[in-house]
Structure 1
Amino acid sequence: MERESRASEAPPAAAALFAWGANSYGQLGLGHKEDVLLPQQLNDFCKSKCIRRITGGGGHSAVVTDGGGLFVCGLNKDGQLGLGHTEDVLYFTPCKSLLGCPIQQVACGWDFTILLTENGQVLSCGSNSFGQLGVPHGPRRCVIPQPVELLREKVVCVAAGLRHALAATVSGMVFQWGTGLASSGRRLCPGKTLPLFLTAKEPSRVTGLENSKAICVLAGLDHSASLSDAGELYVWGSNKHGQLATQAAFLPVPQKIDVHCFQNEKVTAIWSGWTHLVAQTGFLWLRA
């Protein structure tokens, strides 16, 4: 439960950041590439900074601080750190190319990064081998964040999977790009024509969500999800591990998860791992 704030309280102290686990590319920001078994504090990084968001990809990490600053570290062979080069980085380093462009959210894919600015613009960097940067005629990789020009409406949320990305706009539309889900779809839905958004290398509107207003999107290894303002959760893509709560092996278009799965409560927040989903609920009155 959040604590009620009061004007008389002292300002919050600078955040403490801890890291542990796999560290083959320096993604923990500790200055080396050795795996770490116990949480270690990054003493120098968080001085005088408040952390807004933390996220990680296949081998890189990103932190957004209050004020919209972006710090990155780890694997960078495709320029996914957006630093203008392709050398791995062992310490959290500011992305200087974004100075004067405050970041609201970062989504780290396997070898690429999607950035959402505070004014609702989407940027991307890293590998573009599968169209995951949303720049169809761009290079195979990009080392400096570039605008996803075809997203012309203000964006409120972004997500990144293995080789695909999503964005939800202020009006509630969902766009997807990158061909990461297409191979699974062709294998598991033989003889069926896949919808354009599964094969597009540029932002393509996700069909099947026309009657809902999306407020959040998520991506896993090869699945996607969208949460509506009515607390309805839609899912599509691979169901190899049962993450879509259906009997189908693959959902080519979004399918709403029945509210009874959530004990007749609306979904208020969702999180996605590589092959699983987690939902938080709140009570929803059902009409007779």
Structure 2
Amino acid sequence: MPRKKVTEGNGRPSGKKRSAGKKRGRDDFSSDDDLDLDGSPASDSGPNHKRASKAGAKSPTGIAAIVVTEPEHSKEKIKLEGSKAKGRLLIFGATNWDLIGRKEVPKPQAAYRNLGQNLWGPHRYGCLAEIQVRTVASGPVSAHSLLITTEGKLWSWGRNEKGQLGHGDIKRVDAPKLVDSLKDEVFVHGACGRNHTLALTENGSVYGFGENKMGQLGLGNKTDAVCSPALILYNGQPITKVACGAEFSMIMDCKGNIYSFGCPEYGQLGHNSDGKYIARAQRIEYDCELVPRRIAIFIEKTKDGQVLPVPNVVVRDIACGANHSMALDSQKRVFTWGFGGYGRLGHTEQKDEMVPRLVKLFDFPGRGASQIYAGATCSFAVNEMGGLYFWGATNTSRDSTMYPKIVQDLCGWKVRSLACGKSSVIVAADESTISWGPSPTFGELGYGESKAKSSTTAQEMKTLDKIYSEHVAMGYSHTLVVARDETEQDGERLKKLPEYNPRTL
């Protein structure tokens, strides 16, 4: 049977104690700010990174192409190229950053309680009138966002209680703002966790900032908040892709190795452990990975339960949900691991997986995957033929899909970019932008003020009719679109959209 109901709080066996401060359930995305782990403050600059790479190493799907290789005293440099997109940023959904995913604004942020409305249709940011955007990033459990301009400058905005915007403070920022301390770097890619951020430069270095109490910044220590960008502790091959889960992170190097760090609670780090140990007073605590650690083994499970290693895995793309991870390799195989609730791993069972496990459906000639995406409690893949597959659950009160199934509503569409928030999905395909998600929504589907606010089936966004979406990203309950702006016609259509100029204190 493909469908099962999830019971006992998302499949967790009852009777297990959790550590103090980790009170939320596995997929409760509200912020938990009641646990401070002492640690020495992270320095603002990491070690000097030694990098080496063979000329002509292949690039991962859709992110970076290595275009320059210069030998220099046995050390070879790389230069990554990010997305070729060039357009304007559009935003819709919830913009009251301190309230997202919470019943009320926390006391220290009370002054901001009434700042930021729900935008029911696409808006342009007034402050970005002259800014050409290359790419945007947020995450299914994030109330903050990044954008990278065509010059490679990094901007950030949103919730900032842990310094996840990298501006050196913990003040909320309502409209995109340049990360000043990194203005001399050129960025190609970024990722957002619940309260932390990773940003990748064109030479393969990674900066981290925000919450680090589970080691998710890879700085070698645990700190409540790192407000200024710091280089992660890593001196291997240049990095070509970064991804963030709720409280963990993943990086991929140009050789196709992946490294993970942060919270290991459900095996999402892929190191064959959930990191649990019994601390004082019978409390369960977690042995977090404080620096990037390479994932060493990939497996498949046979029908009769045998576990076999999968050799020659060269990873080309990575994606992280709230508590699960995905990888796509050079042979178009998909691996998933971490928390198995709601069937999000696609293995027809809800067991947590401690190491990357092969998803059988894509392991056939002509049926391999070309793209992967992770939502908070679900997963997506596009196969070689262009079919979009889904597994897991977006609406956790309904039945779950326990293994990859084709999304019938999108048969025949060529998916270019996809993003998933807490429960909503947006897709850029062909000339259209398509979205769907169950109630309650906050405008992240972008249907407009007078239209239905939610939809259980995929709907074309009429509000973006004749506007070409280059790239889409979604946070917990807000959506970002890079809309093409190359011709006069493009510009005229974009000018017809309303402008958003947030009120500030």
TM-score between both structures, scaled by the size of structure 1: 0.81
Structure 2 counterpart of 1:35: 172
Structure 1 counterpart of 2:482: none
CA distance in 2 between counterparts of 1:196 and 1:155 reads 24
Structure 1 segments, 4+ long, off by >6 Å, are none
- The answer to whether residue 344 in structure 2 is matched with residue 208 in structure 1 is no
Contact 1:157 1:215 in 2 (8 A): no
CA distance in 1 between counterparts of 2:324 and 2:264 reads 10
Contact 1:60 1:73 in 2 (8 A): yes
Pick 1 or 2: higher relative contact order, CA cutoff 8 A, min separation 6. Answer: 2
The DSSP-based 3-state class of the residue aligned with 1:124 is strand
CA deviation profile, 1:212-237 (whole Å, cap 9, x unmatched): 21122111111011112221111100
Structure 2 counterpart of 1:26: 163
- The answer to whether residue 391 in structure 2 is matched with residue 233 in structure 1 is no
Report matched runs for 1:111-260 at 5 Å. 111-137=247-273, 139=275, 140-151=287-298, 152-179=312-339, 181-182=340-341, 184-185=342-343, 195=348, 198-211=351-364, 212-240=367-395, 249-258=399-408
Contact 2:239 2:251 in 1 (8 A): yes
1:251 partner amino acid: T
Contact 2:391 2:403 in 1 (8 A): yes
- The answer to whether residue 190 in structure 2 is matched with residue 54 in structure 1 is yes
- The answer to whether residue 208 in structure 2 is matched with residue 72 in structure 1 is yes
2:324 partner amino acid: H
The DSSP-based 3-state class of the residue aligned with 2:237 is coil
Structure 2 counterpart of 1:7: none
CA deviation profile, 1:68-99 (whole Å, cap 9, x unmatched): 1101100111101011011121011111x323
1:265 to 413, 427, 444: 413
Structure 2 counterpart of 1:280: 428
TM-score between both structures, scaled by the size of structure 2: 0.48
- The answer to whether residue 228 in structure 2 is matched with residue 91 in structure 1 is yes
- The change in CA–CA distance for 1:86 and 1:92 in structure 2 (over 3 A counts) is same
The root-mean-square deviation of aligned C-alpha atoms, in Å, is 2.5
- The offset of 1:100, in angstroms, is 4.2
The DSSP-based 3-state class of the residue aligned with 1:26 is coil
Structure 2 counterpart of 1:103: 239
The DSSP-based 3-state class of the residue aligned with 2:332 is coil
CA deviation profile, 1:230-273 (whole Å, cap 9, x unmatched): 2111110013179xxxxx72100000112xx2373222332233
1:236 partner amino acid: W
- The offset of 1:41, in angstroms, is 1.7
CA deviation profile, 1:37-67 (whole Å, cap 9, x unmatched): 23222222121x2111011001100110101
- The offset of 1:278, in angstroms, is 2.2
CA distance in 2 between counterparts of 1:45 and 1:132 reads 30
CA distance in 2 between counterparts of 1:148 and 1:197 reads 22
- The offset of 1:2, in angstroms, is 5.2
CA distance in 2 between counterparts of 1:227 and 1:263 reads 11
CA distance in 2 between counterparts of 1:218 and 1:178 reads 15
Flag structure 1 segments of 5+ consecutive residues without an equivalent. Answer: 4-11, 187-193, 243-247, 284-288
- The offset of 1:34, in angstroms, is 1.9
Flag structure 2 segments of 5+ consecutive residues without an equivalent. Answer: 1-83, 87-148, 276-286, 299-311, 432-505
Give the stretch that moved more between structures: 112-121 or 261-270.
Answer: 261-270
1:272 partner amino acid: C
How many residues get paired?
257
Contact 2:319 2:327 in 1 (8 A): yes
Question: Which is greater in Rg?
Answer: 2
CA deviation profile, 1:117-171 (whole Å, cap 9, x unmatched): 1110010000101101001147431001001101450001111111110101110
Contact 1:239 1:249 in 2 (8 A): no
CA distance in 1 between counterparts of 2:255 and 2:295 reads 14
Contact 2:189 2:201 in 1 (8 A): yes
CA distance in 1 between counterparts of 2:421 and 2:171 reads 24
Contact 1:230 1:266 in 2 (8 A): no
- The change in CA–CA distance for 1:233 and 1:128 in structure 2 (over 3 A counts) is same
